[in-house]
Amino acid sequence: MDDVTQRKVVVVGGGAAGMLAAWAAAKAGAHVTLLEKMERLGTKILISGGGKCNLCHAGPMDDVRNKFRHNEANFLRNAFRVFTNDDYLKLLTDKGLEVYTRPDGRIFPEPPADAKDVVEVMEAIVREAGVNVVLGAKIHGVLVTNDKAIGVEMDDGSRIGADALIIAVGGSSYPLTGCTGDGWKWMASLGHTVVPLTAALAPLYLEESPNWAADWSGVSLRDCVLRARAVNAQGDKGKERMRWRGDMLFTHKGISGPVSLGVAREIAEAWPESSLAEVDLFPDMREDQLREEIDKWCLNYPRRSVGALLESVAPARLARPIARVAMLDMEVKGAYFIAKARQRLVVALKGWVLGKVRAVPLERGEVVAGGVALGEVDNRTMMSRKISELYLCGEILDIAGPVGGYNLQAAWSTGFVAGQAAAALPRTD
Ligand SMILES: Cc1cc2nc3c(=O)[nH]c(=O)nc-3n(C[C@H](O)[C@H](O)[C@H](O)COP(=O)(O)OP(=O)(O)OC[C@H]3O[C@@H](n4cnc5c(N)ncnc54)[C@H](O)[C@@H]3O)c2cc1C
């Protein structure tokens, strides 16, 4: 710490990136004030992973990084090298919070611990590092003189000066968590490019369609593939935009669950071009293999009805809708289930078009895609290339990873880099 003096660092936003940044800056010797507009820290962390908090993803950091889009992965290279998933987990386990890894690589606190315990531990390490935490502190704007950040203006008009300012105010989804997109307005007014914002990791709202009904709400499909497709000139299935494999949940407005989150960003980005949602209930089988299975079933159960077959391959509430899509008579017995009808069933099970996507609600997304353009931020320090001593970390940046702990990892790692750099004397290169 030879080149570090007691710099006055102000961090705005007490979420994932802000807490990590404040802790890292204090550990690096700075005098740190953390300003959070809500009456508690980490409100969004509390609802993460359905309250369980998917902390990060297991595996080598290059693998974690490569789950992001190419330009985001490049930007994150340094931060993911400097502060890894293991580094973050060590912070928690050193404070006695045990974690476990699911077979799919997602890491959570070991139950009964959950997101509340994560926030508690984070708050404890921040306070123990000597950070001055101010809650209920809504920041109105950033103070800049001669292209250098010098502090912030509070909502009541008072000002707080800083040698270095870290902005970690997150995105604009779930605004009740305190995230109302304030940072993007500030950055745009300072001359930063804000890449257009779209929903990512969000549910899909579907248009009214004979192939989907609001009263299926609550029905889930295990391990299916959801494909987002363009609509062709005939209003029919066009080219595939994105696919995601996992579980799917019907809601009263459309669909949700991992597969919906997985395709949401591509659908939102294609807007105003329409997208169709199409589901494959048998992703491990080719059409001919599924056809063979249905043929076998008909041989084995000649007296059972097609309705019984459908209930054996899909949730009972979906048997009738699938029969309608495939134009099948549910009462027909296996022995009389003709070849053409069997083929229509195969086609329906492998590519059931639920309908057009009406909306991908940005405010319901786990993360917002778009944000401060990455080319305008130095990824070695997270400092703005336009305003010196202004550091940006977390979701305010144009980064949106997939579901699986990737977004919190991006917040932890970029927060750490910003904190360390803000506490150090300015670079001269
Ligand atoms: C429902 C849901 C579930 C999620 N689950 C997961 C998950 O399991 N795993 C995962 O990796 N990611 C998950 N995410 C995404 C993850 O929570 C975010 O990527 C992450 O919190 C972003 O961190 P951040 O620090 O940038 O922003 P945030 O954690 O959102 O923190 C920003 C903070 O800034 C404060 N703030 C905003 N404006 C001001 C202002 N003007 N003045 C002062 N303070 C201000 C806010 O109150 C907030 O506390 C989930 C998100 C949601 C919405």
Pocket flag, ligand 1, residue 169 (CB < 6 Å): yes
Contact at 8 Å (CB) between 11 and 168? yes
Pocket flag, ligand 1, residue 54 (CB < 6 Å): yes
pLDDT at 2: 43
Query: pLDDT (tens digit, 9 = 90+) per residue, 15-73?
Result: 999 999 999 999 999 999 999 999 999 999 999 999 999 999 999 999 999 999 999 99
C-alpha gyration radius of the chain: 25
pLDDT reading at 429 higher than 80: no
- To the nearest whole number, what is the mean pLDDT of the chain? 95
Q: pLDDT band at 426, cuts 50/70/90?
A: low
Contact at 8 Å (CB) between 369 and 360? no
- Pocket-testing residue among 64, 133, 165, 169, ligand 1, by greatest number of atoms within 8 A of Cβ: 169
Contact at 8 Å (CB) between 163 and 9? yes
Spatial CA neighbour of 140 closest among 150, 154, 151: 154
- Residue whose Cα lies nearest atom 41 of ligand 1: it is 139
Amino acid making up residue 157? G
pLDDT reading at 174 higher than 70: yes
Domain with CATH 3.50.50.60 in the chain: 8-198+369-423
C-alpha 109 – ligand 1 centre gap (Å): 18
C-alpha 149 – ligand 1 centre gap (Å): 23
pLDDT at 198: 94
| Angstrom distance (rounded) from CA 116 to CA 122 | 10
| Angstrom distance (rounded) from CA 41 to CA 44 | 9
Contact at 8 Å (CB) between 204 and 277? yes
Question: What is the pLDDT averaged over residues 223-234?
Answer: 94
Q: pLDDT band at 212, cuts 50/70/90?
A: confident
pLDDT at 35: 98
> Residue 337: CB partners within 8 Å, gap ≥ 6?
298, 306, 309
| Angstrom distance (rounded) from CA 221 to CA 276 | 18
Contact at 8 Å (CB) between 57 and 85? yes
- Pocket-testing residue among 366, 392, 417, ligand 1, by greatest number of atoms within 8 A of Cβ: 366
Instruction: Tell me how far the alpha carbon of residue 422 is from its chain's centroid.
Output: 27
Question: What is the pLDDT averaged over residues 115-132?
Answer: 98
- Pocket-testing residue among 23, 39, 48, 85, ligand 1, by greatest number of atoms within 8 A of Cβ: 48
| 278 to 193, 200, 204, 256, 328: CA distances (angstroms) | 35, 18, 12, 13, 19
C-alpha 45 – ligand 1 centre gap (Å): 6
pLDDT reading at 427 higher than 60: no
Contact at 8 Å (CB) between 201 and 367? yes
pLDDT reading at 243 higher than 50: yes
C-alpha 47 – ligand 1 centre gap (Å): 9
Question: What is the pLDDT averaged over residues 325-352?
Answer: 96
Specify whether the backbone of 33 is left (phi greater than 0), alpha (psi in -120 to 50) or beta. Answer: beta
Query: pLDDT (tens digit, 9 = 90+) per residue, 354-405?
Result: 999 999 999 999 999 999 999 999 999 999 999 999 999 999 999 999 999 9
C-alpha 8 – ligand 1 centre gap (Å): 24
Pocket flag, ligand 1, residue 47 (CB < 6 Å): yes
Which strands, in side-by-side order, build the sheet including 8-12?
132-135, 31-36, 8-12, 164-167, 390-392, 383-384, 377-378
Pocket flag, ligand 1, residue 384 (CB < 6 Å): no
- Residue whose Cα lies nearest atom 49 of ligand 1: it is 15
Please state, as a whole number, how many other Cβ atoms lie within 10 Å of the Cβ of residue 412: 30
Question: What is the pLDDT averaged over residues 159-176?
Answer: 96
pLDDT at 5: 61
Question: What is the pLDDT averaged over residues 413-429?
Answer: 87
Contact at 8 Å (CB) between 15 and 411? yes
Q: pLDDT band at 1, cuts 50/70/90?
A: very low
pLDDT at 428: 57
The total number of residues written for the chain in this structure: 429
pLDDT reading at 111 higher than 80: yes
pLDDT at 3: 47
Pocket flag, ligand 1, residue 394 (CB < 6 Å): yes
| Angstrom distance (rounded) from CA 126 to CA 322 | 54
Contact at 8 Å (CB) between 104 and 12? no
pLDDT at 209: 83
Name the percent of the chain lying above pLDDT 70: 98
Contact at 8 Å (CB) between 387 and 187? no
Contact at 8 Å (CB) between 195 and 368? no
Residue for token pair 């009406």? 358
| Angstrom distance (rounded) from CA 30 to CA 251 | 48
pLDDT at 236: 84
pLDDT at 377: 98
Query: pLDDT (tens digit, 9 = 90+) per residue, 254-299?
Result: 999 999 999 999 999 999 999 999 999 999 999 999 999 999 999 9
Check whether domain 8-198+369-423 has CATH 3.50.50.60, yes or no:
yes
Pocket flag, ligand 1, residue 173 (CB < 6 Å): yes
Query: pLDDT (tens digit, 9 = 90+) per residue, 139-162?
Result: 999 999 999 999 999 999 999 999
Burial class (CB in 10 A: 0-12, 13-18, 19+), 354: buried
- Residue whose Cα lies nearest atom 6 of ligand 1: it is 48
Contact at 8 Å (CB) between 237 and 276? yes
pLDDT reading at 74 higher than 50: yes
Pocket flag, ligand 1, residue 179 (CB < 6 Å): yes
